[in-house]
Chain A
């Protein structure tokens, strides 16, 4: 079989899109959209890495900062949200053994994430709209620096993503609570109570303990969706506020920017954003670790009740933790810096440490395990958070924040190691585990390529974070430019590590395409031929 033939039809011709259920097609669409936007974020990241070494001809600083504005949003909403939402919309009904409430709504979520992300990315690319994702007031409404129309389309793109996100939340919670046609009436309130942790709290005060009605991973997903919904509300509200200023400017009215208090806005914004960074990400990741550990070992989770309680604590922590972003804001009340910034943030060391330990202990109890791809990537993901969370705890310290805030330390060893090593490797573990399930048993084209994917991603992610961190400890700022090559040694090393990440992704993408075939990948987007609500066909 020629290379071209294998590229088009897959290496064993074992992928048969006609045999896929609507649920399988749905999750595969999410994954493809997520991987395409991961490629976007990766290429943008590499452009920025090279630009930090030496400004590239043809790219102005304004374009550089426009890339920096879109980059984290493409990574979070376009890539991570797509893969996570797709996986959870498949797994919640799979684990509950009942149909998804609405496959149509799930496909709408996928479309809105895809179209919305492309809209804000394209608006930023064309108009160089670059107030950065932090949107510190009144920067997003500074039309002397940024294009008004570019900003409007940018905000509309984000709004589309948020609507898709709300559809996901509704679909997950309805799936947990609803009664499918022909089924015996389901106890909706009790199911939601179990999923969100209410029954667990009541158990603390009861002699006769209530049984948990939903499995632990579903509880993690449900609790994460609470933060997802709150965050969507905050971002939608913020977007509408900025749009009001934009529309007024379109009609020639200059609204008074000082009507919005910069500090209050910053508190509001970070409260909302931390529902992602310190809320749903940590909760979803912990839930995914637990699920992977149980599926890999076939055993019950170690200390399951404590794991369940810790997920609820993490949810509450995520509502009260935002002030660690404002430790360098001298007008921020000192008590908020101390309690929300330092103390509550330190709780994340405990909740995430618990999840780390429980996952490892579950794996340990099932020795000897085969070092499969999901297990390898799961261990990589655990290592990523073990590195990134303490880095975050250090910068959330009143003394250390004074010399770390807004340096490359924050975005290197903390953000990029958490996202690229911790989160992304956890997602890869889930993808490798689910791949045969959602493709009806297709085998990977090359185990060697998958092995290269693991090592290149792990070393690239940790290496890039480490060199960025070293630059940060020597004073290099994030969200800035150094035109005299002040930190070029660190930036060259970080770019080399970044190129390993790029090679890792190319190996992974090639492996998947060669396994499914280009024709098969395209057919994922055609309607399913099977008329069933089951996650997988009966014979599988």
Chain B
């Protein structure tokens, strides 16, 4: 299954290519705009502007990109659709977690998960707005959500790779909120067959 690190790599490549392209375009424009416009035959040297057709094509391109980005990600990023439909999906396991006084209260010291399981993290807050994020040992983000007091905050996630993950608050809740970390709180194990 596509995981968040793969999606982030894809995003890095796409955005980097875009950045280089738009910078090259602007550099080209800055150079050319200071040069004399080529003279059109029979127009007595009158400067030719941009044709409306180019403008409307550009608008069309923006519309296509704006819409297709979300369709493509919805179809290719597995958690997008699962998150949207999570109320109708039965989880294999549920963890109820409470946060209050800048502390995570976990149901167990270690939350153990088998590969392929769909796990529901149901997090409630007793006081402030917090965040709930799962991080790899290299600090990269697996997923996160906001945790609001007085509301149901749940996220359904399927794990396909073994590993130890840390829980960290991803929302500012005061200066001590930066220290809300539970190292290696989640352990995912896979058999060889499951890993393949």
Q: Which residues of A contact B (CB under 8 A)?
A: 60-62, 64-65, 130-132, 134, 136-139, 142, 145-146, 258, 261-263, 266, 302-303, 326, 328-331, 334, 342-343, 346-347, 349-350, 353-354, 357-358, 360-361, 363-371, 375-376, 379, 382-383, 386-387, 390-391, 393-394, 397-400, 402-403, 405-407, 413, 466, 470, 473-477, 479-481, 486-487
Roughly how many angstroms separate A378 CA and B146 CA in the complex, as a whole number? 38
Interface of A is mostly: helix
Could you say which residues of chain A place their CB within 8 Å of the CB of B77? 399-400
- CB B126 to nearest CB in A, in angstroms, measures 11
A383:B26 contact, CB within 8 angstroms: yes
Does residue B95 face the partner (Cβ distance < 8 Å to A)? no
Roughly how many angstroms separate A263 CA and B77 CA in the complex, as a whole number? 27
Among residues of B, the one whose C-beta sits closest to the C-beta of A62 is B175
Q: Known contacts A350-B62, A367-B32; is A479 also within 8 Å of B172 by CB?
A: yes
Task: For the complex of A and B, list the 5 residue pairs with the smallest distance between their C-beta atoms, beginning with the closest.
Answer: A399-B77, A346-B66, A399-B80, A365-B49, A331-B151
Q: Mark B143-164, 1 if CB is under 8 A from A, else 0.
A: 1111011111111000000000
Does residue B135 face the partner (Cβ distance < 8 Å to A)? yes
Roughly how many angstroms separate A368 CA and B155 CA in the complex, as a whole number? 57
- CB A304 to nearest CB in B, in angstroms, measures 12
B148:A361 contact, CB within 8 angstroms: no
Could you say which residues of chain A place their CB within 8 Å of the CB of B140? 474-475
Does residue B52 face the partner (Cβ distance < 8 Å to A)? yes
Given pairs A142-B127, A328-B144, A386-B22, 17 additional interface contacts (CB within 8 A): A138-B127, A302-B49, A303-B55, A328-B131, A330-B153, A331-B152, A347-B66, A350-B66, A354-B62, A393-B69, A400-B77, A406-B131, A473-B8, A476-B139, A480-B172, A480-B178, A486-B139
Q: Known contacts A354-B59, A387-B19, A403-B141; is A142 also within 8 Å of B33 by CB?
A: no
Q: Which of B34-42, B111-119, B184-192 interfaces with chain A?
A: B34-42
25 CB < 8 A contacts A-B: A131-B174, A142-B174, A258-B149, A261-B150, A262-B151, A328-B144, A330-B152, A331-B152, A350-B62, A357-B59, A361-B49, A364-B33, A364-B49, A367-B35, A368-B33, A368-B37, A383-B26, A397-B70, A398-B80, A400-B7, A402-B144, A403-B143, A405-B144, A470-B12, A473-B8
A386:B34 contact, CB within 8 angstroms: no
Does residue B23 face the partner (Cβ distance < 8 Å to A)? yes
Q: Mark B163-191, 1 if CB is under 8 A from A, else 0.
A: 00000101111110110000000000000
Could you say which residues of chain A place their CB within 8 Å of the CB of B37? 367-368
B55:A357 contact, CB within 8 angstroms: yes
Could you say which residues of chain B place their CB within 8 Å of the CB of A354? 59, 62
Roughly how many angstroms separate A354 CA and B63 CA in the complex, as a whole number? 11
Does residue B1 face the partner (Cβ distance < 8 Å to A)? no
Could you say which residues of chain A place their CB within 8 Å of the CB of B174? 65, 130-131, 139, 142, 145-146
Could you say which residues of chain B place their CB within 8 Å of the CB of A131? 174
- CB A8 to nearest CB in B, in angstroms, measures 38
